[in-house]
Every structure is written in C-alpha cells, then in structure tokens.
Homo-oligomer: A and B are copies of this chain.
Amino acid sequence: MRVQSTMSSKLRIGKLVVIGVGLIGGSFAASLKRANIVERVVGVGRTRRNLAAALRAGIIDEIVADAGRAVRDADLVFIGTPVGQTAAVMARIAPHLPPHAVTTDGGSTKQDVIAHARRLLGGHFARFVPAHPIAGAEKSGASAATGELFHGRTVILVPQPGTAPRAVRLVRSAWEQCGAHVTRLGAREHDEIFAAVSHLPHVVAYALVSALARRRNGRELFGVAGAGLRDTVRIAGSSPEMWRDICLANRTALLTWIDRYLTELKIARRAIRRGDGATLGSIFERARASRAKWLLKAKS
C-alpha cells in the first residue's frame, strides 16, 4: 500500500489525553492509533478497572489519575465523560492546559457543553471544538471500544464564532482519520434535532422496558417476546448515567418532544378506546410511509 500525500495524512498528534475512556473516548483513541497518527495516549477516568482494561487492550499507553496533571503537555484533549461531568472536567483542566493544546468533546448535547466551556476554559475556549460523533451503541466502557466504530459514521462539529480555524482543522482531520464523515451544525439546531431523533427514542425505549419490568410477571413477559420488542428496546441497554445526563442537559428541547410524543400516543389511545380504526390506521400508515421514505433516503 502506498502512502498518499493528502492533507489529512500529514496530521500528527504527539500526546492525546482522553478523559473518560468509554465506548466513544476509547474508540477515538483506538481509531487514531490504528491510523498511526498519534504518538502517545494518556487515559484519565474514574474507574481503575476500566482504565486497566484500556491499557491492556493497547487503547491507551498510560493512566494518569488526575486530569489537571494529565493535560500539562497535551496536544489534543478529548473529553469523553457523560455530559453531566463536563463542567467539572473543564474546571479541573483549564489551569493546566498548555497554550497550544486543542480540546474537543464527544457529548450528545452541545448548548450546555459550550456554555460550560465559555465559562470555564478562559482563553482556551478559542481552541475548544465542540463535537458529536453519531455512533452510539448499547454497549459501554473501554471493553466495547474499537478502532472501527466511526467508519462511515457522521461527526458533527459545532465551532463557535471565536473558535480558531487551526483547532477546527485539527479536530476535523482527526475524525476523518477515524473514517468518519465530518459536518457542521449550529448548537441550538443540533440540540433540537437530537432531542427528536436520539434523546426522545432513548426515553421511549427505557420507559417501555421499565413499564414492563415493573410487573411481577416481567420475566414471563420477556420470555415470549419476539424480535420486534428486542429491536425496539435495544437502546435501553445504553449507559443509564450517560443518558440521564443527556436528558437533563437537553431538558428544554426534550420536554417539547416528549409532549409531542405524548399527544400522539393519546390520539392513538383514544382511537383504540373508541374503536376508531380510521384514525388509528392513519397514524400507523403515516409512520410506515415516513419510515419507508427515510430508509430510501438513507440508502441513496
């Protein structure tokens, strides 16, 4: 294989610090290692066992207990913690970030993360590139991380008016080296869209399993369940802590979408109660047709 001399292949990262070596942070490190463009990865996290697993898997080269100490000579810092911890991490690292270091994150919400960064990172805010890789999975932790997770996936960057172009280029290039397609959105637009297509579906799936599980015969119920229920609630296997944080961080947009969904459910409920097949059928038909169009578009 010949080495191609593209812009992105010139990317070199000396020291990458990953704070929160979970599915996303671990896969980011694994992908950059696989692409052979990072020299050294330092992992920071709460759970020693998870970090030890990442070290054994070769995803990180070193464990450092303290985030502030870890970032002192960092070139790129990736914040991969649940979004509820972002503020604490930023407060901890801000006094120690070197002037050239670029910081980015993988949080599923952007308005709250940007507000924290603006408040806590000081002059480093100009080198903070808010990002969101669309590549969740129902598994979590470093043991689920892989160097292929982002192949063909989309990563959304949400640079702000003051963000340095060099920082955006570095983060874009890193994600491209992970095999991802990089795009941009405004922070508010991002949060409103993901409230609908990601945060609401998680609430829907968690609430469905939780409602089933509250019954004494929950075990019996699940025993006869088919592939339909299995797929519908796959994302209820996602990290409860991560999704609790996301739902609280994106509260306003999510509540709007929960209310729209409740309205739809109540229309369906009333139609069922009244034996109104026309209304019920029209809801089901709208859903089937929209899903079909969406899949067609996704394939093209």
List chain A positions with a Cβ less than 8 A from chain B. Answer: 84, 134-137, 153-154, 156, 193-194, 196-198, 200-215, 218-241, 243-245, 247-248, 251, 254-255, 257-266, 268-269, 272-273, 275, 277, 280-281, 283-288, 290-295, 297-298
Contact = CB atoms under 8 A, between A and B. Distances in A.
29 contacts: A193-B220, A198-B225, A203-B272, A204-B204, A204-B208, A204-B232, A206-B268, A207-B268, A210-B264, A210-B287, A211-B264, A213-B286, A219-B297, A223-B294, A223-B297, A230-B295, A232-B232, A232-B233, A232-B234, A233-B287, A236-B288, A237-B291, A238-B288, A239-B288, A258-B265, A258-B272, A262-B266, A262-B269, A265-B265
B287 A205 contact: yes
B248 A210 contact: no
A44 to B, nearest CB: 23
A268 B231 contact: no
A227 B240 CA distance: 18
Contacts of A297: 219, 222-223
Contact of A221 (B197, B209, B227, B284): B197
A127 B235 CA distance: 44
B197 A244 contact: no
A196 to B, nearest CB: 5
Given A206-B268, A262-B265, A287-B205, A232 B229 contact: no
Contacts of A280: 244, 247-248
A154 B224 CA distance: 8
Contacts of A204: 204, 208, 232, 265
A214 B196 CA distance: 12
Contacts of A281: 240-241, 244
A297 B225 CA distance: 11
A269 to B, nearest CB: 5
Nearest to A276: B248
A185 B248 CA distance: 43
A195 to B, nearest CB: 10
